[in-house]
């Protein structure tokens, strides 16, 4: 019984740590995008799970979509960037 309880506590602790790490990485990514000289990047959203940072939202050019990769490439803990950013014509065409 004690062993089971310890395993459960270890799982809860590890999960809490994982969540804290995920939040920290997402915050670092969001900060990197906000600090970019390209204003549209500040509106993008990030999520992190199992080493993969997923970025979503819209930018007005393919160039800015590529800049997302550059802005996020050196964040510790990120093994892969899943760039799901859509390029949309700001004029609605």
Q: What is the mean pLDDT of each run of 10 residues along the chain (93 residues)?
A: 46 64 95 95 96 97 96 94 94 70
Q: What is the CATH number of domain 2-87?
A: 3.30.1340
pLDDT of 7: 46
pLDDT of 17: 67
| Assigned token pair, 20 | 């804290």
**7 contacts 30 by C-beta, under 8 angstroms:** no
**22 contacts 50 by C-beta, under 8 angstroms:** no
Report how far residue 54's alpha carbon sits from residue 42's, in angstroms, rounded to the nearest whole number. 15
pLDDT of 5: 47
């Amino acid at each position: 019984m004690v062993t089971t309880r310890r395993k459960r506590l270890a799982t809860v602790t590890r999960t809490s740590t994982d969540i804290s790490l995920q939040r920290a990485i997402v915050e670092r990514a969001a900060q990197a995008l906000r600090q970019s000289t390209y204003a549209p990047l500040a509106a993008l959203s990030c999520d992190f799970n199992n080493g993969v940072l997923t970025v979503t939202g819209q930018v007005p050019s393919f160039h800015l979509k590529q800049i997302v990769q550059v802005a996020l490439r050196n964040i510790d803990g990120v093994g892969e960037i899943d760039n799901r950013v859509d390029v949309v014509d700001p004029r609605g065409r």
